[in-house]
Structure 1
């Protein structure tokens, strides 16, 4: 299960293009964002589910200039959607060029409108204050299976999660000292634990004090989390969406249960109140055991995917892999108003002249 979609939504299309290009001897460079790219680390137990929830339903190629449906490579300056079939070697007349330019402009306008309809208003990309609610899972199930180092040394799961949260809080505070943090604990219901404060030392101390609160949990009421937020969090009111908000609210839910599927016991009205707001972001970090018949890792992950109807959340998952735990926690550092949609993220480092 890679984040959000399991595979890049354009992966199938790129493969089709490559097969067609072999026959036409055209070289096309495809920069594919592989959302979950693990090495041969034996401790890597990430779930690789190929859910199509984030994938675009329309991946067909338009007709080429000659009327053929074969896909041809595009020059970098063509200015067209890469899914429009255009032959870069074809000479265009002035009329043809004007038509291509007009088609490109119309396509961009339609894409912009489509983005706004799908994802809501495009807010100013500013580093305004964040009010971050960290939801820490206190179910004893989190510690059933430890993390294992490369040398085979076992590590307590909750302790490692607290360590990466410690780093995250300190780093966010260093980026912007105005950021505020609050704590919510997750047992069978969500419980508000620590009010908002920009004193990161206080939050970190309270975070490490949670070890004594563990208990067995057979269920988790997801709606209780939004009820708790509704009682303790006020979303900002902005008259003009073109102006930066005074702050945004972000929830980072750390969920570590592999056999307990979150459920919505109450109605979803309060949930929708938050999830539909452009100033609220619901990020999830799902830490699970190795997928097996006796657990429900995929079903749990699908619940989080289904909540993100606006496609604005970052939903990461990791098995009991220490390196991946740190790497994927670092992905939450980006400000929600400044980060791209998760399926557009690119985390690989380009180190060769051809790639730069």
Structure 2
């Protein structure tokens, strides 16, 4: 205290931690049949959709371990968006059944209109909000040359959106950078809280799993994506320079100093 005045006290205003209703929207274009780099048991090829299914179940189980009040529903993206499992549920068996129902198309759709996704999300978000819950959309997109399209008023931001983008490496036949930019624009256009977007052209399932683990973060508790410093890279510990390695003489002198000081 100075001059009879008490120092200011910092306090964090209490806020309610909302349970989430999460709508997964999975791109089932023919490009979701693209094989990943590593094969499965007995050399069986693993496709993007196979890895997505594993990642979804990883997410659902982990999210429910954090808070069993979270709920999930599923939709698919072809030319437009349609429901796969409309009822939001925290039942793992229900989620597994929905994931098993995901199937990739045999040919490319050519168009990816996500207006219906935003329409569904806005409608469901209002119902979630009336129940004191938070609504989030997670779009998993797989097309390397088809940019998603939408017609949605910028003033409506009633849900949060995350995106994972799996794509081929850039070539003369595709331009994943333009697709990525369109996905960023869509996310910023609709997201209420901080939405995250991750991409990978490496074809590695472990990268997808790592990204899904980051998306476990609750939208109300996120930093901006530019400030993310996870996951930490595991670097090999470097060997100290020769001058820094203690010799027998230096160890002996150090011991003598300790003894004499005692």
Q: Name the TM-score class by shorter chain.
A: 0.7 to 0.9
> Is the contact between residue 76 and residue 83 of structure 2 (CA under 8 Å) also seen in structure 1?
yes
Distance 2:120 2:29 in 1: 18
Counterpart for residue 313 of structure 1: 195
Matches within 5 A, 1:74-153: 127-143=17-33, 145-149=34-38
Tell me by how many angstroms 1:236 deviates. 5.1
Q: Give the structure, 1 or 2, with the largest relative contact order (CA under 8 Å, sep 6 or more).
A: 1
1:22-80 CA distances to partner (integer Å, 9 max, x unpaired)?
xxxxxxxxxxxxxxxxxxxxxxxxxxxxxxxxxxxxxxxxxxxxxxxxxxxxxxxxxxx
Segments of 5+ residues of structure 2 without an aligned counterpart are: 1-11, 238-262
Q: 1:124 to 1:260 in 2, by over 3 A?
A: farther
- Contact 1:235/1:249 (8 A) holds in 2: no
Q: Is structure 2 residue 154 aligned with structure 1 residue 262?
A: no
> Would you say the 8 A contact 1:130–1:249 is kept in 2?
yes
The answer as to 2:172 corresponding to 1:302 is no
CA separation of 1:124/1:193 partners in 2, compared to 1, >3 Å: closer, same or farther? farther
- 1:291–1:297 Cα contact (<8 Å) kept: yes
Q: Say yes or no: does 1:207 pair with 2:102.
A: no
The answer to whether the aligner puts 1:292 opposite 2:183 as a matched pair is: no
Matched, 1:191 2:82: yes
Q: 1:248 to 1:123 in 2, by over 3 A?
A: farther
Query: 3-state SS of the aligned residue for 1:185?
Result: strand
Say which SS state the counterpart of residue 218 (structure 1) adopts: coil
Q: Which residue of 2 aligns with 1:333?
A: 216
Give the structure-1-normalised TM-score.
Answer: 0.55
**Which residue is 2:135 aligned to?**
249
User: After superposition, what is the alpha-carbon deviation per residue over 1:78-132, rounded to whole angstroms, capped at 9, x for unaligned?
Assistant: xxxxxxxxxxxxxxxxxxxxxxxxxxxxxxxxxxxxxxxxxxxx99665420000
User: 1:290 aligns to what SS in structure 2?
Assistant: coil
Partners in 1 of 2:147 and 2:104 — Cα distance?
Answer: 24
Partners of 1:182 and 1:294 in 2: CA distance: 34
- Whether 1:155 aligns to 2:53 is no
**Larger of the two Rg values belongs to structure:** 2
Give the aligned length: 216
Which residues in structure 2 correspond to 1:266-281 (within 5 Å)? 267-269=151-153, 272-273=155-156, 276-277=157-158, 280-281=159-160
TM-score normalized by the length of structure 2:
0.74
CA distance in 2, matches of 1:262, 1:249: 21
Q: Deviations over 1:177-221 (max 9, x none)?
A: 110001011000000221211112201211111226665311011
2:26 is paired with a residue of what secondary structure?
Answer: strand
Equivalent residues of 2:22, 2:137 under 8 A apart: yes
Contact 1:222 1:262 in 2 (8 A): yes
Q: Is the 8 A contact 1:125 1:337 kept in 2?
A: no
Question: Structure 2 CA distance, aligned partners of 1:138 and 1:350?
Answer: 34
CA distance in 1, matches of 2:173, 2:233: 38
